Amino acid sequence: MTALKDSVQRAVRRYADVFRAFTPGQKVTAILGTAALLFGAVLLYGWVSAPQYAPLFTNMSPKDASAVVAKLDAQGTKYQISGGGGTILVPQDEVYKDRIALSGDGLPSGADGGYSLLDNQSLSTSDFQQQVTYKRAMEGELSKTLGAMDGVSAAVVHLALPSKQVFSDTQDPTTASVLLDVKPGVTLDDTQVQAVVHLVASSIDGLDPAKVTVADQAGHLLSSPTDAGAGGLAAATRDKQTTAFEAAQTQRIQAILDRVVGPGNGTVQVSADLNYDQATSSSTTYKKADPNGLSTSQTTTSEDYKGAGGTGAGSSGAGIVGPDGQLQTGSVGTTGTSSGQSTYSKKSATSDQALDTTVTNTVVAPGTVKSLHVGIVLDQRKVGSVDVNALQQSIASAVGYDTKRGDTMSLAQLPFDRSSEKAAAAELAAQTAADQQAQLMGYVKTGLPVLLLAVLLLVGWLRARKRAKAREEATEYVVGQLREEAALRAAMARDLADAAPARDRGVDEDEALRRELESLVEGQPEDVASLLRGWLVERPS
C-alpha cells in the first residue's frame, strides 16, 4: 500500500514538474483541453445513461389517451406525449411490460365509434335511436378505414341517410362528406381522392359516388357533387389537368424550337380548352338485307267469282252471299226460276323483307380537347434562313392541329429583349464570385485559428521535448558526477582511515553527509533526478 502511494505521489510530482515547464500559452491550452474532455465525458455519460423512449400506443382517441396516462401515473412509469396527444412514449425496456399490463385493463378500449356502439342495444331502444346509432357506427368504421390510408393521419365521415318514403316515387338521395387530416408534406393525388370517394360510396347502400364530398384539413375541396359531370373531379383538379396538358404541349413545341432556332431564341404559349362533360349518344341504322329485293312490306289480294245468270221474270241473281262468303241460291222473286251453281274465291298474300339493324352507343369521356390555341414568337435576329412555313407545319403535326374544331396558331418574328438576360448573367457571375470569396474567407477563418493552434502546440511540444531532453542529460551528468565523486571520496576516506585513524569531529560529519548522499543516489536515483530537474527549472535569474 505504501509503495502504491509513493508511486502515485511520484507520478503527480512528475506531471506537476512537466506542467510547470510549460509556457503560459501551453498551460492555458492544456487547461482548456482538459476541461473540454471532461465536459464531453459528462455529456456522453448523460446521453448513454438517458433512457430511450419508444411508442407504447399511437393514434389513440383523447379518451383512451387520458385513461392510459392516468394508469401510467398510478404505476409511476415515466412517459412522454407526442403526436398531438395521440401517441404515448415510454422507456424502451418497459414497452412490452406496460403494453401487456394496460391491455389486461382493457386499454386502449377503442370504443369511441364503429360497430362497438351496437353492442349495448336493448329492447327498449327506439327506432330513431337505432338509426342514429347505426349511422354513427358506419361513420366510425369509415373514419377508421380512411385513417389507415398512407399519408392520412385521421379522417372524419358524416353521412346523410334520409328515411325511406313508402308512398313516394322519388326518394331523397344519400350523401356523404369526408374530412381528411393529411400528414405534413403529403399531397393526395387524383387517384387517391377517387379511391376515397368510391370506398365511401361502396360502403353505403344506394350512395352515388357523385354525392360524396371530400376536403382536407386546410379547407381545400378535393371532390364535390357539383363535379359529377366531370367524373367527380373538383374544379381545382380540372385546372390542374388542363395546366398539365398545356405544359406537355408547350414542352413538345419548345423541344422543336430549341433544335431548329437554338435554345432561348424561340418561345411558345399554349392555351387549351378541354371538355370535361361526359356525354352519351345512341344511334340506330337500318339497312336492307337484299338491296335488289322487294320493298320492306308488300300485300297482294285477288278475288274470283263465277256463277249462272237468272231466268224468268222477277228472278234475282244467282243467289245471296252468305256470312261465310258462300253464294246461296234460291228464288228471290215471285215469278221465274233460277238454277245453276256459282263459286267465289279470295286470295291475300303479304311479304315482309328483313332489315339489318345496327344500334351504336357512344360514351365521350371527359377531358377531350375542344380547341387548341398556339402562339409562337421567334427572335428575328437569330432566325436566319429557317423555313418558317415548314416549321409551322411540323409544330401543327406535333400538337394535332385541327382547323375543323377551331384550332388557331400564330407564328411571329420579333426582336427579343436580351437586357434582362445580360443583367441576370452579370448578377449571377458577381454572385458566384462573391460566393467563392465568402467560401475562401470561411476556410481562412476556420483554418487559420486551427493552424495557429497546431503551430503553437507543435512549438510547445518541441520546446518541451528539448527541455526534457536537456534535463535528462543534465540529470544523468550530475548523477554520474555525484556517483564518481562519492566513489572517489569513499576511496579517499578509506585511504585516510588507513593513514590517520584519528580525525576531528568536522571531518567525520562531512564524511557522514557524503555517505548519506551516496546512499541516497544509489537507493533513490529517480527522486534525486527529479530534485535536480526542479533546481534546473527554478534556477536564479
pLDDT over threshold 50, residue 313? no
Residues with Cβ within 8 Å of 364's Cβ and at least 6 positions away in sequence, in order, are: 275, 277, 278, 279, 280, 281
Distance CA 209, CA 197 (A): 6
Distance CA 509, CA 89 (A): 83
Q: What is the pLDDT of residue 291?
A: 62
C-alpha cell at 438: 465568402
Query: What is the dotted CATH code of the domain comprising 127-164+171-229?
Result: 3.30.300.30
Instruction: Please state the rounded mean pLDDT for residues 13-29.
Output: 76
Distance CA 98, CA 71 (A): 10
Distance CA 444, CA 81 (A): 46
Report domain 53-105's class.
alpha beta
pLDDT tens, position by position, 410-443: 998 888 888 887 888 888 888 888 888 888 888 8
C-alpha cell at 500: 590517520
Half-sphere exposure of 337 (CA within 13 A, CB side): 2
C-beta of residue 304 within 8 angstroms of C-beta of residue 344: yes
Distance CA 409, CA 95 (A): 69
C-alpha cell at 31: 487547461
Distance CA 97, CA 80 (A): 17
Give the helix, strand, coil percentages of the chain, each rounded to 5. 50, 20, 25
Residues in the chain: 541
Among left, alpha and beta (phi > 0; psi -120 to 50; other), residue 474 is alpha
Residues with Cβ within 8 Å of 498's Cβ and at least 6 positions away in sequence, in order, are: none
pLDDT tens, position by position, 234-263: 566 678 888 899 999 999 999 999 998 888
C-alpha cell at 176: 356523404
Helix (H) or strand (E) holding 469: helix 419-499
pLDDT tens, position by position, 120-177: 666 777 777 778 888 888 888 898 888 888 888 888 999 998 887 777 777 788 899 9
Among left, alpha and beta (phi > 0; psi -120 to 50; other), residue 292 is alpha
C-alpha cell at 269: 404559349
C-beta of residue 23 within 8 angstroms of C-beta of residue 467: no
Highest mean pLDDT among 238-247, 282-291, 345-354: 238-247
| CA angle at 445 for the pair 439 and 449, rounded to the nearest 5° | 145
pLDDT over threshold 50, residue 503? no
Question: Distance of alpha carbon 109 from its chain centroid, rounded?
Answer: 31
For the full predicted model, state whether its pTM sits above 0.75: no
Torsion angle (degrees, nearest 10) of CA 122, 123, 124, 127? 90
Distance CA 147, CA 60 (A): 12
Distance CA 285, CA 536 (A): 124
Burial class for 495, CB neighbours closer than 10 Å (0-12, 13-18, 19+): exposed
| CA angle at 30 for the pair 27 and 36, rounded to the nearest 5° | 140
Residue with cell string 365521415: 157
| Ranges 56-60, 276-280, 374-378, 394-398: which has the least confidence | 276-280
Distance CA 325, CA 194 (A): 75
C-beta of residue 151 within 8 angstroms of C-beta of residue 169: no
| CA angle at 22 for the pair 17 and 26, rounded to the nearest 5° | 140
Distance CA 441, CA 280 (A): 71
Q: What 3-state class would DSSP assign to 164? A: coil
Highest mean pLDDT among 27-31, 317-321, 322-326: 27-31
| Ranges 22-26, 196-200, 253-257, 319-323: which has the least confidence | 319-323
